[in-house]
Chains A and B, each alone.
Chain A
Amino acid sequence: MSPSYLGRKVLQAIATLVFVVILNFMLFRLMPGSPERILLRNPHLDAQSIAAARARFGLDKPLLPLEISVDPPSLKVNPDSQFLAYLQTTASGDLGLSFEFRGESVTEVIGVRFWPTIILIGLAELIAIVVGLTLGSAAGWKRGGTLDRVGNGISLILYSMPYFVIGMPLIIIFAAGLGWFPTSGMLSPGAQYQSPIDQLLDFARHLVLPLATVSLGLIGGYSILMRSSIIETRGEDYVTTARAKGLKDRSILRDHAFPNALLPTVTVIAINLGYVVAGAITAEIVFNWPGLGTLTVDALAARDYPVLQGIFLLISVAVILANLGADLIYGRLDPRVRA
């Protein structure tokens, strides 16, 4: 990979990040309604209290560092503006205070919910990538075979089902019916653990069903994607060349078709990985998983704008990084884009 390719991609990511940070500021300021009203939730506040609240949250400062007016033409510089304050605090990792969880900072609120989601969705993605790509390429390679007909049928069904539709039967059968796994949560409430291993086992038992749900949903999509990519590759001349070389079917698939078929799927998968932090909202809700998905729903219900703003920023950063990762991986896999 040439340094110029790398540099270009990193610069692009940084530029996008800057844009997102600015947009994040603008978007929430463009929303109708005054923040202090929502903040204090009282229509009969006196002007003093409102002013105090505004001062506390920095809302009394001008919005932008530069104010340009056309009529009359003027240019005003505000050394102390909301925008600069926002940039400064964001850069230092301070995302403000949550409305709902009073006293807690947004970083803390998000931080608690971050890892459950990362573990759940990250593991699910890992399983789905391995299983989905294997299943899809095997099915596409023997197009029309038993594996293809059965596998592709199942993949299509899984792909078309929302997480809660996959998750609920799992709960009914394996949790409520057979009682193998708990129905919800991440750890048994009020449990006392003898050792960290006990805790881990409890966590694992809670993890199985949501993990299965999200994995199954993702496997469907990845397998369909890989199948069509392999089918397209199968007809390529270099696959015929590989056959003419007298290679075994498996080596043709492994060494020639698969590396090429992987290229179009890498982009999709990498972008998907960006949404790992967004969580699979419906899956988290069904299993009451304390991740970022449930937090998003809670924050929306409570109109907790700072938290939403924080989640928004986090998702954007993750997607940008995932895209950057996709570009870099793609550059490694396909020599044609390294130039």
Chain B
Amino acid sequence: MMRMPTGPGETGKVMEDAEQEAARRAAEAGQEAVVEAPVDSEAIEAAAAARALIRGRRQWPLPKQADPTAPLLTVENLRTHFKLESGWVKAVDGVSFRLDDGEALGLAGESGCGKTTTALSLVRLLPSNARIRKGSSIDLFGIDLVPKTEDQLRRYRWREISIVFQGAMNALNPVRRIGEQIAEPIEVRLGLTQDVARKRAAELLELVGIPRQRAAAYPHELSGGMRQRTMIAMALACDPAIVIGDEPTTALDVMVQAQILELLERLRRDLGLSLILITHDLSVIAETCDKTLIMYAGKVAEEGPVSRIFTAPRHPYTQKLLGAFPNIHADRRSLETIPGSPPDLRNPPAGCRFNPRCPAAMDICREVEPPEVVYPDGVRVACHLHVAGRDGAVGVTSADVVGWHRQLPVIEAPGVPAVASAGVAEPPGPGSQP
């Protein structure tokens, strides 16, 4: 196998050569394993069992139109654009990913890369000038949310997908008691009586480590960490399938941050939650998530298991991003920066959107948009350095991404009886053989 002319290590200086070599070997090994291993039907069955187990814990039935065997969430070719007087801002432009029951996905990237827009598009909590374009699909339990009207979509808000905003800021209503605010969705959305809702709110407060007497407190009477806990308790009110954390620890000090992450981790394990964590703090993702999705300028740069992305980043942007992050174990004093700034999304650069800032940019990067390829270790990357057919990479069109994912029998839900661990399946379709 030929060594790539411009490998990840040479561009990013992130990894030592030896590490890089090891990563490459691992990739090769993975490829070999995959080539030999057929689709593991047992693993798929085990995953289905785990899914059924997690869904069996639901206190409320699945939505009527739900397909119980469908994956929790598949997002395909999501394009969310904002209309300005000067044109359309393509904030999210063709993002696909999948979230399984009990899984934690970290969305990362620079400010303005579209990570929050991606997450908020799921329940359409977008400003009025935003449009989710035709061809996008957001399937929750197999129900496409994109064509739903605002009124139909409300059924899914909070009951299926809830959001932990930055509670330390202004996400809690300053003039209402926190107990009331937690009880509100229980009363209004689940139709329970006020007494039951208040009681449940008190239980939720205790669950997140706040004494139930504090239900009578107003947000300003609580510390930042307590407010964030309150936000989490509120997000759990209707026993949702997915909790989105929108920078849930950003405004908190490090100790409180750690407590909040621990709390989220515990709740995920105990309640079988699926998490989507939006953050620019990569260490948060490393600590809490199974998978990470690195976005750049409204597109997926790289996606895959946290263990792979953090040790062997393939996209030059991921490498730069990791290099720009302090590592307390390393000797390096100065952090790297990524020169330049993200592009104007009204008029993104032709070809790869990262090309003006990419140290490894080639001619093709300025002309052709890089297609997404999938490696056998489960990492998906959109970069011309990674070509289908090399190192076991398989080309995926956007339509295949989900199809490919459907083969992936990985559910790593802590607290659920161990299921087939990362037995990566061979992606179907032509071009799967190098």
Residues in A lying within 8 Å of B, measured CB to CB: 236-238, 240-248, 251, 255-256, 259-260, 263, 333-336
Contact = CB atoms under 8 A, between A and B. Distances in A.
B166 A237 contact: yes
A259 B157 CA distance: 23
Residue among B159, B174, B218 having the largest count of chain A Cβ atoms under 10 Å: B174
A242 B125 contact: no
A14 B155 CA distance: 55
Contacts of B82: none
Contact of B172 (A238, A243, A247, A259): A238
B143 to A, nearest CB: 15
A336 B172 contact: no
Given A245-B184, A335-B218, A336-B218, A238 B157 contact: no
Contacts of A248: 154
B158 A260 contact: no
A335 B159 contact: no
12 contacts: A236-B170, A238-B171, A240-B165, A241-B165, A244-B157, A245-B184, A246-B155, A246-B159, A246-B188, A247-B154, A334-B174, A336-B220
A236 B220 CA distance: 16
Given A246-B189, A335-B220, A336-B220, A241 B155 contact: no
Residues of B contacting A: mostly: loop
B163 A242 contact: no
B173 A241 contact: yes
B165 A260 contact: no
A245 B185 contact: yes
B169 interface: yes
Interface in B112-160: 123, 125, 154-159
A246 B154 contact: yes
A244 B170 contact: no
A246 B220 CA distance: 24
A179 to B, nearest CB: 49
Given A237-B166, A335-B220, A336-B218, A242 B189 contact: no
B130 to A, nearest CB: 13
Contacts of A243: 125, 157
Contacts of A334: 174-175
Contacts of A336: 174, 218, 220
A212 B234 CA distance: 47
B23 to A, nearest CB: 39
Contacts of A256: 173, 176
A260 B162 CA distance: 23
Contacts of B156: 246
**Top 8 A-B residue pairs of the complex, sorted by shortest distance between their CB atoms:** A246-B157, A335-B218, A238-B173, A237-B170, A246-B154, A237-B171, A245-B185, A246-B158
Given A244-B125, A260-B175, 5 more contacts: A241-B165, A242-B173, A244-B123, A246-B158, A259-B176
A259 B158 contact: no
Contacts of A263: 175
A244 B246 CA distance: 12
A335 B162 contact: no
Nearest to B155: A246
Given A246-B158, A248-B154, A333 B125 contact: no
B175 A259 contact: yes
Which label, helix, strand, loop or mixed, suits the secondary structure of the A interface?
Answer: helix
B22 to A, nearest CB: 43
A260 B155 contact: no
B171 A260 contact: no
Interface string B211-223: 0000000101100
Contacts of B159: 246
Interface string B258-301: 00000000000000000000000000000000000000000000
Given A237-B166, A237-B169, A241-B165, A247 B188 contact: yes
A244 to B, nearest CB: 5
A62 to B, nearest CB: 55
Contacts of B188: 245-247, 251
Contacts of B175: 259-260, 263, 333-335
Contacts of A251: 188
A251 B155 CA distance: 15
B60 to A, nearest CB: 13
A333 B156 CA distance: 32
B185 A246 contact: yes
Most buried by B among A245, A251, A255, A336: A245
B229 to A, nearest CB: 15
B162 A244 contact: yes
Contacts of B189: 245-246
A238 B174 CA distance: 8
Which of A242, A246, A335 counts the most B-chain CB atoms under 10 A from its CB?
A246
Contact of B165 (A237, A246, A255, A333): A237
A237 B155 CA distance: 21
Contacts of B157: 243-246
B140 to A, nearest CB: 14
Nearest to B169: A237
Nearest to A249: B150
Nearest to A259: B175
A271 B3 CA distance: 78
Contacts of B220: 335-336
A241 B171 contact: yes
A242 B123 CA distance: 13
A256 B175 CA distance: 9
Contacts of B171: 237-238, 240-241
A331 to B, nearest CB: 12
Contacts of B123: 244
Nearest to B177: A335
Nearest to A247: B188
Interface in B223-242: 234
Contacts of A240: 125, 165, 171
A247 to B, nearest CB: 6
Contacts of B169: 237
A238 B169 CA distance: 9
A245 B165 contact: no
A217 B248 CA distance: 47
Contacts of B173: 238, 241-242, 256, 259-260
Contacts of A237: 165-166, 169-171
B150 to A, nearest CB: 8
A241 B176 CA distance: 13
Nearest to A235: B127
Listed residue (A236, A237, A255, A263) with the most chain B CB atoms within 10 angstroms of its CB: A237
